[in-house]
Structure 1
Amino acid sequence: MLEFITSDALPVRHGFFTRKGGASSGIFAGLNCGTGSSDLAEIVAINRARVAEAMGVPPDQMMTVHQVHSPDVLTVTAAQPIRPRADAMVTATPGVALAVLTADCQPVLFADAAAGVVGAAHAGWRGAKDGVLEATLDAMEALGAKRANIAAVIGPCISQAAYEVGPEFYETFTDDDPETRRFFAGGNGDRMLFDLPAYGLWRLRQAGVGHAEWTRHCTYRDPERFYSYRRTTHAGEVDYGRLISVIRL
């Protein structure tokens, strides 16, 4: 059985899918939806088809992009077979599902149900810092959404307790904005712990979104339910699965 997490803040069809219920095996066991992984392409296609069915759309109506940790947003009027380079999508077209892939980064789903506009963003630390969340809000407004009516929900991602970084990472944030010191806690030696979802929520709220929340699921700490790039790296595994998060009108 597929398992997905939802939020009452998003009154449209959506889901942050866990790894449960997929056809992949081995290190990818479960619902690996990453075409960029070394998993069998036909198995990944089966997994994606199961997700599309759960969202009530044909597989070719579930749109993904070639994610590159950018602030770039694609406005989707119809699903297309090619995957443009971008890290977020918005649409006002009913029946088109927007999907992003993650394995520790933040999947963020957006909706202004009154205006009939939804969005999805892949927001790792770089994309969030470079403005992908704000760019998604801008693109939704261009389709008629009102920022104060938009709800944004951050799905399963790496939590602060599992996200150890070095001094260069810390300085990348604090040199630009000293206020970001609040998102770092002390670690071992010169290491620090970065609170990615708190940073994402702060950026969303600073941008004036109507509602922002995190589902409070950590990808690193729950291997039964979630894939994690960092956990895979620590375990010395050769590759990792990708989680999928989807929203549609």
Structure 2
Amino acid sequence: MDDAWIVPDWPAPATVGAAVSTRQGPGVSAPPYDRLNLGLRSGDDLAAVVTNRAALAQALALPATPLWLRQIHGTAVAEHSAPREDEPEADAAVARGPGKALAILTADCLPVLFTSADGGTIGAAHAGWRGLAAGVLENALARMAVPAADVMAWLGPAIGAPSYEVGDEVRAAFVATDPGAEAAFTPTRPGHALCDLYMLARRKLAAAGVTRVFGGGFDTFRDSRFYSYRRDGAASGRFATVIWTR
């Protein structure tokens, strides 16, 4: 693929496709959302976003319209069991069988993709710090109903630790249930620390028994290919991390 897309580097089954959109894709959004903004609730023109979503589906040759979610930084998981027009209120989704597509919207939060070893079950999760601490990854894995040893995960573009300063409440939320999570926080000034979302996600996945974890190493704040809410504020669009079954 060209620079409009990031293709996950993971040993997923041949029947599973995945890609991440960038701002450089075939979109029509005007500045400051230029140009492939996919977030309906980002302040962009709604008609432009609908056009962009159709362009994404066409460019990636998706087998079906993705299941888009109304994400609220929670832990609910939707199951894509049949075609639907609405956006369920959830921060993760799973699908079984061929011809399905899932999409996660982010602009600094961590998108996580899952697939079973046989490609029969896929999943996707939106893991901001609140959802990550509360168990959105564990809930997605439970809904997949696949032994953890048969699951692989890919960590998509998120804000990197050097760019992500948080308050003590974030550190406390993780350390309360996992004292070892302290290693993911580097103190900066009183009451604040740099937070490594990738390390925290890997710890969560390892505790759940998922050892085949790929991806990471992005920083949406510093990489202009991606939307970043922390960098751009309310004028930030959303990019999509998509997974599908052929």
In 2, Cα distance between the equivalents of 1:120 and 1:37? 21
Aligned to 1:203: 204
User: What are the Cα deviations for residues 9-51 of structure 1, in whole angstroms up to 9, with x where unaligned?
Assistant: 3231111222212221211112100001111111111111121
Q: What letter corresponds to residue 6 of structure 2 in structure 1?
A: F
Q: What letter corresponds to residue 44 of structure 2 in structure 1?
A: D
Normalised by the length of structure 2, the TM-score is 0.91
Pair 214,15 (structure 1): closer, same or farther in 2 beyond 3 Å: same
Aligned to 1:39: 44
Q: What letter corresponds to residue 99 of structure 1 in structure 2?
A: A
Spell out the pairing of 1:1-249 with structure 2 (5 A cutoff): 2-11=4-13, 12-21=16-25, 22-57=27-62, 61-114=65-118, 116-141=120-145, 145-223=146-224, 225-233=225-233, 238-249=234-245
Normalised by the length of structure 1, the TM-score is 0.90
Give 5+ residue unaligned stretches, structure 1. Answer: none
Preserved contact between residue 10 and residue 154 of structure 2 (Cα < 8 Å): no
Preserved contact between residue 110 and residue 153 of structure 1 (Cα < 8 Å): yes
In 2, Cα distance between the equivalents of 1:40 and 1:135? 33
In 2, Cα distance between the equivalents of 1:115 and 1:101? 22
In 2, Cα distance between the equivalents of 1:198 and 1:229? 21
Give the C-alpha shift of residue 226 in structure 1.
0.5
Preserved contact between residue 3 and residue 19 of structure 1 (Cα < 8 Å): no
Give the C-alpha shift of residue 189 in structure 1.
4.0
In 1, Cα distance between the equivalents of 2:216 and 2:65? 26
Preserved contact between residue 18 and residue 226 of structure 1 (Cα < 8 Å): yes
In 2, Cα distance between the equivalents of 1:210 and 1:202? 10
User: What are the Cα deviations for residues 143-192 of structure 1, in whole angstroms up to 9, with x where unaligned?
Assistant: xx332111100100001100101223322332343222111002134421
In 2, Cα distance between the equivalents of 1:134 and 1:175? 17
Q: What letter corresponds to residue 83 of structure 2 in structure 1?
A: A
Q: What letter corresponds to residue 101 of structure 1 in structure 2?
A: L
Q: What letter corresponds to residue 88 of structure 2 in structure 1?
A: P
Identity of aligned residues (%): 39
User: What are the Cα deviations for residues 186-235 of structure 1, in whole angstroms up to 9, with x where unaligned?
Assistant: 21344210111110111011101141123311100112x000011113xx
In 1, Cα distance between the equivalents of 2:164 and 2:212? 25
Give 5+ residue unaligned stretches, structure 2. Answer: none
Give the C-alpha shift of residue 104 in structure 1.
0.5
Preserved contact between residue 201 and residue 214 of structure 1 (Cα < 8 Å): no
Aligned residues: 240
In 2, Cα distance between the equivalents of 1:218 and 1:124? 14
Pair 215,184 (structure 1): closer, same or farther in 2 beyond 3 Å: closer
Q: What letter corresponds to residue 45 of structure 2 in structure 1?
A: L
